Amino acid sequence: MKRMLRPFGLALAVSLLAGCSQQAAFSPQTAQNLDQVLAQSNGFPTTVEIKIRDQKLVTAIELTGAEILSVKMGEVIAGVSSKQARALKAKGFTLVPTQVGGSNYLDNTFDPAYHTYDELLAKLKTLTAANPNIAKLVDIGDTWEKTQNKADRDIWAVRLGTPGKTPVLFTGCTHARELATVELPLLLIEHLIAGNGKNPAITKWLETRDIWVVPMLNPDGHARAAQGLDWRKNANFSYGGAPMFGVDLNRNYGFQWAGVGTSRDPMSPIFVGGAPFSEPETQAIKKLHEQFKFPVSLSYHSFSEIVLYPWAYTDQPAPDQKRMQAIADKLAEAGKYDAHQSSQLYPHAGEHNDYAYHSNGTLGFTYEVGSRRDGFDPPYSRVADFWKQTREGAELLLEIADAPKTKALQ
Q: Could you please report the per-residue DSSP string of 93-115?
A: --EEE--BTTBSS---B--TTS-
Would 356 be classed as within a structural domain?
yes
Would 373 be classed as within a structural domain?
yes
One domain, residues 52 and 121: no
Pairing type for strands 166-171 and 296-301 reads parallel
Distance between CA 119 and CA 114 in Å, rounded?
Answer: 9
One domain, residues 77 and 137: no
Task: Give the CA angle between residues 400, 397, 158 to the nearest 5°.
Answer: 120
Q: Which helix (H) or strand (E) holds 392?
A: helix 383-400
One domain, residues 89 and 238: no
Task: Give the CA angle between residues 222, 223, 226 to the nearest 5°.
Answer: 85
What count of residues does the chain have? 410
3-state secondary structure of 156: strand
Rg (CA), the chain: 20
C-beta separation of 76 from 50 below 8 A: yes
- Residue 350 lies in domain: 117-407
Distance between CA 74 and CA 320 in Å, rounded?
Answer: 27
C-beta separation of 373 from 305 below 8 A: no
One domain, residues 155 and 217: yes
Integer angstrom CA distances of residue 21 from 10, 101, 361:
31, 13, 38
Query: Which amino acid does the sequence have at 371?
Result: S
From first to last of its 410 residues, the chain has per-residue pLDDT tens of 333 333 333 333 333 322 232 333 334 444 468 989 999 887 677 899 999 998 889 988 988 878 888 888 789 999 888 889 999 999 999 999 999 888 887 666 799 999 999 999 999 999 999 999 999 999 999 999 999 999 999 999 999 999 999 999 999 999 999 999 999 999 999 999 999 999 999 999 999 999 999 999 999 999 999 998 889 999 999 999 888 899 999 999 999 999 998 889 898 888 999 999 999 999 999 999 999 999 999 999 999 999 999 999 999 999 999 999 999 999 999 999 999 999 988 889 999 999 999 999 999 999 999 999 999 989 999 999 999 999 999 999 999 999 999 999 88
Q: What's the domain count of the chain?
A: 2
One domain, residues 53 and 197: no
DSSP state of 169: E
One domain, residues 203 and 311: yes
Q: DSSP readout, 24-41?
A: PP----TTS-HHHHHHTS
One domain, residues 86 and 142: no
Distance between CA 152 and CA 139 in Å, rounded?
Answer: 12
One domain, residues 220 and 361: yes
One domain, residues 63 and 200: no
CA 4 from chain center: how many Å?
Answer: 21
pLDDT value of position 43? 67
pLDDT value of position 284? 98
Would 340 be classed as within a structural domain?
yes
One domain, residues 56 and 176: no
3-state secondary structure of 217: coil
One domain, residues 353 and 315: yes
Query: Which amino acid does the sequence have at 186?
Result: L
One domain, residues 154 and 297: yes
Q: CATH number for the domain including 56?
A: 3.30.70
Nearest to 268 by CA among 127, 96, 108, 84: 84
Q: At what angle are helices 280-292 and 352-360 packed, to 10 degrees? A: 30
